[in-house]
Amino acid sequence: MTVRSAPPHSTTSAEEAIVFVVDDDASVRQALSNLFRSVGLQVETFGSAHEFLQSTLPNAPSCLILDIRLPRLSGLDFQAELAKADIRIPIIFMTGHGDIPMTVRAMKAGAVDFLTKPFRDQDMLDAVTAAIERDRNNRDEAKAHSDLQALFAALTPRERQVMKLVTAGLMNKQIAAEIGLAEITVKIHRSHIMRKMGAKSLPDLVRMAELLAIGPTSGRPQT
């Protein structure tokens, strides 16, 4: 699965993970903040979804802990709102008893975990660690993806054309015939492409092409 993670507010590139807590209950906010601080995690708390949306989010691996019952904008609505705004942050829901239907909806909408209040501290920390790890991966992937795109963009139009055909599995000769070039010219383009894209081998380049969603066979749009 390819996830495009591009927080709109990202300004810095701090690497320290941060936990966001949104709960209307001040005691719960304080308690969670205390817990995360005790294990050395950075934490920021918000009384409402609105407050969270108003703030500037740092460019760091993070996760969101959300009470499923929020006044005005409920946790589920908030989740949908974030998705609409293309903010792809892993969400851990906190639920009360008897909120199973809502939990199911939350999970279907892409929540990474849910915990029932009162929860065990280790469960919460595990969930948060996993979510942050996931976000970090997402971010790495996204970074790699964007780097790849930059490299691809740096290719000449001819090279891009050749790369599509190479990664589609065509032989040099076939490519030369296809675009009306000498086979030797195709070879030169090919070596340029390998160097510019930083590909170590042909399978590597094929993987990159897949990530970039180029080529006639791998044009499946990613969500």
Partner 1 sequence: MMRYPTMSLSRSAEQWLLGGMTLALATTACIWLVLAPAPTAPAYFVAIALLVASLAASLILMRRVGSSQRRMEAVLQGRTKAEERAIEALRNSEAQWKEVFEHNPVMYFMVDAAGTVLSVNTFGAAQLGYSVDELLGQSVLRVFPANECKAAQGNVAVCLNNIGRTHSWEICKVRKDGSTLWVRENAKAVRLLDGQPIVLVACEDITERKQAENALRQSEMYLAEAQRLSHTGSFGWCASSDELIWSEETFRIFGFDKAPSIKRATVIQRIHPDDRARVLRTTKRALSDWKDFEHGYRLLMPDGSVKHVHVRAHAVKDRSSGIDFVGAVSDVTVRKRAEAELHEAQMNLAHVTRVTALGELAASIAHEVNQPLAAVVTNAAACQRWLDRTPPDLTEARGSLQAIIKDGNWAGDVIQRVRALANKNSEQRAPLDINEVLNEVVSLVQHELFRYRILLRLELPPALPLVLGDRIQLQQVVINLVINGIEAMASVADRPRELIIRTGLDDAGQIVVTVKDCGTGLAAENAERLFDAFYTTKSGGMGMGLSICRSIVAAHGGRLSALQNSGAGATFQFTLPLHVEGSPP
Contact range with partner 1 by CB under 8 A, out of 30-38, 53-61, 153-161, 192-200: 30-38
Min CB(143)–partner 1 separation in Å: 32
| Shortest distance (Å) from residue 93 CB to partner 1 | 13
Strand 42-46 and strand 113-116: the pairing is unpaired
Give the nearer residue to partner 1 in terms of CB position, either 81 or 141.
81
Among the residue ranges 1-9, 54-62, 116-124, 196-204, the one whose residues contact partner 1 (CB under 8 A): 116-124
Taking CB under 8 A as the criterion, the residue among 4, 37, 143, 173 binding partner 1 is 37
Please give the Cα distance from 90 to 17 (Å, whole number): 13
Strand 113-116 relative to strand 91-95: parallel, antiparallel, unpaired?
parallel
Paired with 113 in beta bridges are 92
- Binding to partner 1 by residue 151, rule CB under 8 A? no
Helix (H/G/I), strand (E/B), else coil: 80: helix
Site for partner 1, residues 47 to 76, rule: CB under 8 A? 69, 71-72, 74
| Min dist. Cβ of residue 31 to partner 1 (A) | 4
In angstroms, rounded to a whole number, what is the distance separating the alpha carbons of residues 152 and 107?
A: 36
| Residue 116, H or E segment | strand 113-116
Return the closest-CA partner of residue 88 out of 149, 43, 139, 126: 139
Q: Which one of residues 41, 124, 166, 175 is an interface residue with partner 1 (CB under 8 A)?
A: 124
Q: Is 117 in the site for partner 1 (CB under 8 A)?
A: yes
Q: How many CB atoms lie within 10 A of CB 37?
A: 12
Tokens of 74: 């409920």
Return residues touching partner 1 (CB under 8 A).
25, 27-28, 30-32, 34-35, 37-39, 69, 71-72, 74, 94, 96-98, 117-122, 124
